[in-house]
């Protein structure tokens, strides 16, 4: 397994492990995962940029400056997972598919987890339609391992590639950026030095693959790299009318402020997910009003009404319970 995949597996287990071992020292945690102190610190820094938010205010909070590690706020990442029937069915299919791959460790655990998820789904009709893709050949698996190594080492690769359109095989020097699997096929997203563009190359159309000593200078940036450099633009613009006490919170999310003719402040920010924006608005309470987009305004209203109805139902249930089981010493109700 490559260093990148080994680290990904470690990051998936590190947060739950830290929650079960509060106050563990950095040295002890590093020894438990078989990595150096420097690598564990790098992992902890990466974990602090995970969570239901896109940046600041909704990320996992881990404190480790004192030499011991404490997960202050896991952002509900350790809460039970809630899945729809279709999502659970897709998860079961994925687990079984992963367990069937050659060389996958702990395949029995994957099969057992898939069986438990399938039992929760219930009706077989809930299972979505499944398209069985061709199994990867040994050559494709070798190409995937080499390309993964090139991505980690930031090196160029020489490939012999047969295009689908022309059916011609050509030699390309590419700078791999990421491996992508969709509809059962694996592609490498890479900078092609011949066309001087980012292209997708399907692995089953690569007949030769050679790792070169040449460093990759123009390989496609990963999403994390683009976010860190500010190249990744969020698709949705949100405009909020806010009271002054929310300036610091929204400023932490990159909002720009302008006077509102109505006497408040207008905060404009870009977001990647309007559902996240709805949760942010509800957390600010009455001192925040959505001006645009309309879809966000409607979503916030619906969420607030749903929460209010749930609160009223809880109140009614509490009153009914008190009437059915009055407190000791409560005088009986008069007979009609």
Q: If we measure between CA atoms, which residue out of 178, 177, 224 comes closest to residue 55?
A: 224
Encoded tokens for 39? 């690598």
Averaged over 47-72, what is the pLDDT?
Answer: 76
In whole angstroms, how far apart are CA 178 and each of 149, 152, 198, 294? 11, 10, 11, 36
Answer whether residue 290 shows pLDDT above 50: yes
pTM exceeding 0.85: no
For 125-143, the pLDDT digits (tens) are 555 555 555 677 889 889 9
Q: Are 270 and 237 in contact (CB under 8 A)?
A: yes
Q: If we measure between CA atoms, which residue out of 257, 278, 282 comes closest to residue 268?
A: 257
Question: Among 156-170, 197-211, 218-232, 316-330, where is mean pLDDT lowest?
Answer: 316-330
Answer whether residue 116 shows pLDDT above 80: yes
Secondary structure of residue 15 in the 3-state scheme: helix
Phi/psi-derived region of residue 277, left when phi > 0, alpha when psi is between -120 and 50, beta in every other case? alpha
Euclidean distance between CA atoms 174 and 190, whole angstroms = 6
Answer whether residue 227 shows pLDDT above 50: yes
Euclidean distance between CA atoms 44 and 38, whole angstroms = 10
Q: Are 81 and 36 in contact (CB under 8 A)?
A: no
Euclidean distance between CA atoms 15 and 76, whole angstroms = 11
Answer whether residue 204 shows pLDDT above 80: yes
Answer whether residue 253 shows pLDDT above 70: yes
For the chain, give the percent of residues with pLDDT over 70: 78
Euclidean distance between CA atoms 51 and 45, whole angstroms = 13
* Number of other residues whose CB lies within 10 A of the CB of residue 206: 23
Q: What is the full DSSP assignment across 319-331?
A: HHHHHHSPPTTPP
Euclidean distance between CA atoms 23 and 74, whole angstroms = 15
Q: Which of 53-57, 97-101, 114-118, 159-163 has the highest mean pLDDT?
A: 159-163
Euclidean distance between CA atoms 141 and 2, whole angstroms = 13
């Amino acid at each position: 397994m490559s260093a990148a995949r080994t680290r990904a597996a470690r990051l998936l287990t590190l947060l739950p492990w830290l929650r079960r071992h509060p106050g563990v020292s950095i040295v002890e945690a590093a020894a438990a995962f078989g990595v150096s102190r420097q690598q564990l610190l790098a992992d902890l820094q990466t974990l602090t940029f995970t969570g239901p938010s896109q940046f600041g205010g909704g990320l996992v909070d881990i404190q480790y400056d004192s030499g011991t590690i404490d997960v202050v706020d896991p952002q509900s990442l350790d809460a039970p997972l809630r899945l729809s029937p279709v999502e659970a069915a897709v998860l079961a299919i994925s687990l079984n598919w992963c367990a069937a791959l050659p060389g996958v460790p702990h395949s029995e655990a994957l099969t057992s987890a898939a069986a438990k998820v399938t039992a929760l789904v219930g009706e077989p009709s809930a299972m979505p339609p499944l398209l069985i893709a061709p199994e990867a050949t040994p050559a494709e698996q070798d190409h995937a391992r080499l390309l993964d190594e090139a991505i980690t080492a930031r090196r160029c690769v020489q490939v012999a590639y047969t295009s689908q359109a022309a059916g011609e095989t050509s030699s390309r020097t590419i700078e791999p950026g990421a491996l992508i699997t969709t509809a059962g096929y694996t592609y490498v997203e890479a900078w092609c030095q011949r066309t001087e563009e980012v292209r997708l190359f399907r692995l089953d159309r690569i007949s030769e693959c050679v790792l070169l000593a040449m460093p990759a200078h123009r390989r496609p940036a990963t999403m994390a790299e683009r976010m860190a450099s500010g190249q990744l633009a969020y698709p949705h613009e949100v405009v909020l009318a806010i009271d002054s006490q929310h300036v610091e919170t929204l400023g932490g999310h990159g909002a720009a402020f302008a006077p509102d003719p109505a006497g408040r402040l207008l905060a404009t920010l870009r977001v990647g997910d309007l559902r996240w924006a709805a949760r942010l608005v509800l957390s600010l309470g009455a001192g925040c009003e959505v001006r645009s987009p309309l879809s966000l305004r409607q979503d916030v209203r619906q969420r607030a009404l749903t929460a209010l109805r749930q609160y009223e139902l809880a109140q009614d249930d509490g009153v009914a319970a008190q009437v059915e089981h009055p407190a000791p010493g409560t005088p009986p109700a008069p007979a009609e």
